[in-house]
Every structure is written in C-alpha cells, then in structure tokens.
C-alpha cells in the first residue's frame, strides 16, 4: 500500500511517500501551506495512487496536546473530508530535531524546506516501523 506522510506546519508542509510492503520512504518537495495546498496534495494522491495519509501529531515532551495539535487535528479532518482519504495520526515528537541533526551531518547549509521534508520522512518511517509485518 502507498501512503503519504505529512509534517504539517502553518507555513510549509513536509511530504514523504511510503510503500508499506517494503517499508520504503522517500521525501517529496515541500509544499507551501496556502489556498492551493489541498489541490497539490490531491495531485500527489492521484498520481501516486495513495491510499492513506499519515499526519504527524505534535505533542509536548510530556505527551500533552497543545495548540498545534488542535490545529493539526482540525486540518486533518478537513483534508480527509475534502481529499476523500483515510488518515491516521502518529507522534511526531523530535522529528524536526532528528531531521536537523541528520541533515547537519551532510555539512550543507540547512534550508527550512529540507528540514520539513526530512521531518516528514522521519514521521512516515516511524509510522511504518510500528506496523506489524
């Protein structure tokens, strides 16, 4: 099954494509979060035959849901309704930090778009690693 991972931000959305049979994940170009976001996601969903959307749910280090988690759930419910796709949420704690740290080892200047994309990869890979074979 093909699934799409999302690192939702109010300005940008990191996106990753995954395939559950082989548990492969690749990053896709980051999307600007604006009026065209859902259209861009719909294009990816149709082009790649995506069957499920995995959205990183931000929580505090103590596991509490804050303002960003409320925003994420509202956005996810709207996206599921408009895009007509199943969604699931997965804990995204530390995904941006792990993304920054892993990209820093490459020795290149870090762009926010690259961090968002890498965070989406970490989110989706974590979700797929949690699936039973």
Domains with residue ranges and CATH for the chain: 2-131 (3.30.420.140)
Query: Quick one: pLDDT at residue 14?
Result: 94
List the structure tokens of 80: 């599921």
Kindly report the average pLDDT of the chain as a whole number.
85
Dump pLDDT digits (tens) for 19-42. 988 888 999 999 999 999 999 999
Global pTM?
Answer: 0.84
Taking the mean position of all CA atoms in its chain, how far away is CA 32? 13
Query: Quick one: pLDDT at residue 2?
Result: 96
Contacts of residue 51, defined as CB under 8 A and 6 or more positions apart, other chains included, come to 1, 2, 3, 85, 86
Query: Quick one: pLDDT at residue 124?
Result: 93
| pLDDT, average across residues 76-101 | 80
């Amino acid at each position: 099954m093909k699934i799409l991972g999302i690192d939702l931000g109010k300005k940008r959305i990191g996106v990753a494509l995954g395939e559950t049979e082989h548990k492969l994940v690749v990053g896709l170009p980051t999307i600007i979060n604006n009026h065209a976001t859902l259209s861009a996601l719909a294009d990816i969903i149709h082009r790649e035959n995506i069957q499920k959307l995995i959205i990183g749910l931000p929580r505090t280090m103590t596991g509490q849901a804050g303002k960003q988690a409320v925003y994420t759930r509202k956005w996810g419910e709207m996206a599921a309704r408009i895009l007509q796709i199943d969604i699931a949420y997965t804990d995204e704690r530390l995904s941006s930090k792990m993304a920054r740290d892993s990209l820093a080892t490459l020795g290149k200047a870090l762009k926010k778009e690259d961090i968002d994309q890498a965070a989406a990869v970490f989110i989706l890979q974590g979700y797929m690693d949690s699936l039973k074979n």
